[in-house]
Structure 1
């Protein structure tokens, strides 16, 4: 599947598309955002006017079947990812879907099957795979900066945000029927997918998930252990009702250690017997853009530059489901 120019449509032009992703579709060469859709038409119209998008819809089918739309970016919560992905695939158009890929691994498998049957590519918005910050970590590993990797560890702790204290107006990210789980599903997915990118698939998983604070039904604390096919071991703890904010990953090898955060801009730190080195990176304004550039290149050239596809993203859903026990 090759295009001379990729004309995009967005389903669900909410906050994530305002800066992180939407404008990038206009800035990449031979890429254009031509249509957007929200169920509330006035909001779709407002978005289109502010971002100079020629068409807007309040009906997803109308956007999907618009002959001027070549590829569709699904930027809705996970509960509708499967439905929209299958519809886009039936229309014969490439899919770029937000993360997490779906509510559970079963839905991911159905999405992959639909796109395979239609002969269209399926991409998933794990954009950290293409950011220079994390490509530096991959480079250090490939250059054996820490020798042979033994294990990886993750700590992600956050204070309970004010919006989860109002039980009558909970954000969708802590409603399992919409998000697939709680904040673990939304946030840990980034780190677990990144580890898949760095070390390959995880093959064995064990974990515990609980709700300790009782602000909502979904899990608010998760601990897990896992083993990669490569033999690397991993441990992780995620708590979303802690007293402080912590975000740190460590990769420990036979000759050194790499430390970095998933969501912050702290420097990447390499410690070995030779000393300590650091590298700082500023996130691009449109954080999806580096990954989207690989997707557009694939669609223009018929290549396979993008590393975040349905098969890899489904593995992350499988791991999260095994750890937290909410969705398998």
Structure 2
């Protein structure tokens, strides 16, 4: 089984408590790089989670040729800019829901992904959180 090497853009609360625990449960994924606007936060996070690469610039993370998949876990209004950069870097992209905050940007990402022949995924993890399940019930 091939290991999918992951780069994470955004290491806020959702990344720490939603994404990282799930990645740690899935042996086919390896978190290889993280990015935060704060280099000290990125460094501390990388050390705590034994992640070999950390950056304070998404362009540096995207230039890491070892990465197979980029996960965008930043606030929704920034999803478009980061997902677009990842697609342009020919990386597969997982974006937390919502993909973008408007239809035009979402369609642009879909079209761009087709041109670059990369896979894109939208995460709906929160629908399985205890609070969401409570409301649903």
Same fold? TM cut 0.5: yes
**Moved >6 Å (runs of 4+):** none
Native 8 Å contact 2:38 2:56 kept in 1: yes
Shift of the alpha carbon at 1:264? 4.4
User: Matches of 1:105 and 1:90 in 2, distance apart?
Assistant: 19
User: Matches of 1:82 and 1:66 in 2, distance apart?
Assistant: 20
Which residue of the partner structure matches residue 120 of structure 1?
Answer: 118
Which residue of the partner structure matches residue 25 of structure 1?
Answer: 23
For residues 28-71 of structure 1, the C-alpha deviation after alignment (integer angstroms, 9 at most, x for no partner) is: 02210010000111111111111111111001011111012110
User: Matches of 1:267 and 1:82 in 2, distance apart?
Assistant: 29
Stretch deviating more after TM superposition (34-43 or 100-109)? 100-109
Which residue of the partner structure matches residue 75 of structure 2?
Answer: 77
1:99 aligns with 2:109: no
Native 8 Å contact 2:62 2:86 kept in 1: yes
Q: Which has the larger radius of gyration?
A: 1
Stretch deviating more after TM superposition (106-115 or 22-31)? 22-31
> TM-score, normalization: structure 1?
0.39
RMSD: 2.2
Native 8 Å contact 2:18 2:125 kept in 1: no
User: Matches of 1:264 and 1:117 in 2, distance apart?
Assistant: 37
Residue 134 of structure 2: SS of its match in structure 1? coil
Query: Where in structure 2 are the equivalents of 1:1-328 lying within 5 Å?
Result: 4-127=2-125, 131=128, 263-265=132-134, 268=137
Shift of the alpha carbon at 1:91? 1.6
Native 8 Å contact 1:8 1:25 kept in 2: no
Structure 1 segments unaligned to the other structure (5+ residues)? 134-260, 269-328
For residues 9-33 of structure 1, the C-alpha deviation after alignment (integer angstroms, 9 at most, x for no partner) is: 0001111011211232232022100
User: Matches of 2:104 and 2:96 in 1, distance apart?
Assistant: 17
- Which protein has the bigger helix share? 2
